[in-house]
Amino acid sequence: MTETATDVKEMREIARALLAEGDVRVIIGWEAARRGARPVFVTDPAEADRLIFDARCVHNLVTYLNPRRDHVAELGKIGLIVKGCDVKAVAGLLREAQLTRDDVVLIGVRCGGVLEENEMPAAVTLTRDNVAPRCYGCDNREPTLFDHLVGEPQPEPPRPAQTIDERIAALEDRPLEERWAFWTEQFSKCVRCYACRQVCPLCVCERCVADKTRPRWIEPSPHARGNLSWNVTRALHLAGRCVGCGECERFCPVGIPLSLMNGKLQQIVAERYGYTVGDDPEQAAPIGDYRLDDEQEFIK
Amino acid sequence: MSDFEPRITAFVCNWCTYTGADLAGTSRLHMASNVRIIRLPCTGRIDPLFIVKAFERGADGVIVSGCHPADCHYTSGNYHARRRFAVFHDIMEFIGVDPRRMTFSWVSASEGAKWRDVVDEAVTNVRALGSFEAYRALAPVEDRKA
């Protein structure tokens, strides 16, 4: 890309003004690097031109607002560049009182999908073979939670060769024993690095249950049994909260298909409670809420 | 296999099911003796992790039981639990755990007979499914118990 796109120019102008006027102390966005886009912290208005936005900007930067990262909050007020999926995580933090709206200035970018593999020197056109599967069916190309919004309305991202829902359905068509074999095989690869937890914008516990030793709820050594406990617990703690940004799966060094687990959770809360995660902080989350007439077909 | 006796852990609410199970006992109802009861203040206190832990420690099946809707001693604990266990139930089925290993029920303090039925049905189901060897086989070798 030789010419700077208008949305990027607009984004840089906003970032520069926010920093120059002292509205924020740091802008967190993406910059171009040798191996593709990467997160960048810009504190000097003169450096606002480092900011970029294109299909390589896969990272969910909301992880920097996670209250566990108090060293980021120490920098001062944050200006954050967010895609439609990312801003749902901001809404999640606001919903759960982990953040107040005044803590952050949100620069929303209209996004038409990102790449699955972002490590390339320049952005390429999205196709069914390179699009991140999670972008299919994106319902937040027009975010509602922002202070500034840049870019033109975007088209729907291309349909990937196999969507996450299709992969889940394919798995569900297999008998129980095969599913058990599939997941225990996947979980047995886990090295318990907890990258999935560390990168998740919504894993907000100061002290994770996986780190507790009295009692030791989750066996810490990486063997299949403790790994199953960990992965089931991680998933359950995100039920009705996960925004599907896919960072856990992208960060997983051993390639556990966590998006299938998270996607299944989203399907469960959608089917049972009609809940789809959005970017409205006022929307009640399904777990922690209830209705008197909730389905209970599984209870005797 | 023929002498297989299922081990079943029951997590029950103090206010309803525990008293219901007590009533079943004092009424001298006959029921399977495979269930170990763990008494908790409310179904809302039962973290799904308890169930995972029970399987880890050798349970072949699990029962979770508490107050009927609208009867919760703490007003809404069972409603919260109902949602949590609905999600847990579905995700466990997704990863390949037979849902018949997990019995969820509402048993009030006066339903001794229902408790007996719940227990008998759970034991029958788990007996048919057999020991949950698949779970125990996940453990490191030195941890595996016969």
- In this predicted structure, what is the pLDDT of residue A2? 47
Judge whether residue B142 has pLDDT over 80: no
Chain B CB within 8 Å of residue A53 CB: no
Degrees, nearest 5: CA angle A219-A220-A221: 100
* pLDDT band at A1; cut points 50, 70, 90: very low
Asked if B91 and A236 come within 8 Å (Cβ–Cβ), the reply is yes
Q: pLDDT, tens digit, for every residue of A142-153?
A: 999 999 999 999
- In this predicted structure, what is the pLDDT of residue B53? 93
Asked if A290 and B69 come within 8 Å (Cβ–Cβ), the reply is no
> Cβ distance B31 to B8 under 8 Å?
no
For residues B79-94, one letter each, b for 16 or more C-beta atoms within 10 angstroms of the residue's C-beta and e for the rest, the string is bbbbbbbbbbbbbbbb
Burial zone of A242 (CB within 10 Å; 0-12 exposed, 13-18 middle, 19+ buried): buried
Q: pLDDT, tens digit, for every residue of A251-300?
A: 999 999 999 999 999 999 999 999 999 999 998 889 988 999 898 998 98
- In this predicted structure, what is the pLDDT of residue A35? 86
CATH class held by domain A164-273: mainly alpha
**Mean pLDDT value across residues A53-70:** 93
In DSSP terms, B61 is beta-bridged to B8
% of chain A with per-residue pLDDT over 90: 80
- In this predicted structure, what is the pLDDT of residue A271? 94
* pLDDT band at B146; cut points 50, 70, 90: very low
> Cβ distance A252 to A230 under 8 Å?
no
Q: pLDDT, tens digit, for every residue of A128-142?
A: 999 999 999 999 999
Asked if B91 and A219 come within 8 Å (Cβ–Cβ), the reply is no
CA of A90: how far to CAs of A2, A30, A101, B11, B72, in Å? 32, 17, 9, 36, 34
Closest CA to A38 of A19, A21, A53: A53
> Cβ distance A298 to B86 under 8 Å?
yes
- In this predicted structure, what is the pLDDT of residue A110? 94
Domains identified in chain B and CATH numbers: 8-143 (3.40.50)
For chain A, the structural domain boundaries read 6-150, 164-273
Judge whether residue B30 has pLDDT over 70: yes
Distance from CA of B128 to the nearest CA of A (A): 15
Coil, helix or strand at residue A40:
strand
Judge whether residue A34 has pLDDT over 90: no
- In this predicted structure, what is the pLDDT of residue A117? 86
Q: Using CB atoms, which residue from A181, A219, A268 is nearest to B91?
A: A268
Q: Using CB atoms, which residue from B90, B92, B104 is nearest to A300?
A: B104
Q: pLDDT, tens digit, for every residue of B100-123?
A: 999 999 999 999 999 999 999 999
pTM for this prediction:
0.92
- In this predicted structure, what is the pLDDT of residue A183? 96
Chain B CB within 8 Å of residue A194 CB: no
The Cα–Cα gap between A117 and A99 comes to 31
Q: pLDDT, tens digit, for every residue of B53-87?
A: 999 989 999 999 999 999 999 999 999 999 999 99
Mean pLDDT rounded to a whole number for chain B? 93
The Cα–Cα gap between A211 and A224 comes to 17
Judge whether residue B2 has pLDDT over 70: no
Closest CA to A92 of A135, A58, A60, A134: A60
Mean pLDDT rounded to a whole number for chain A? 93
Regarding predicted confidence, which is higher, A123 or A76? A76
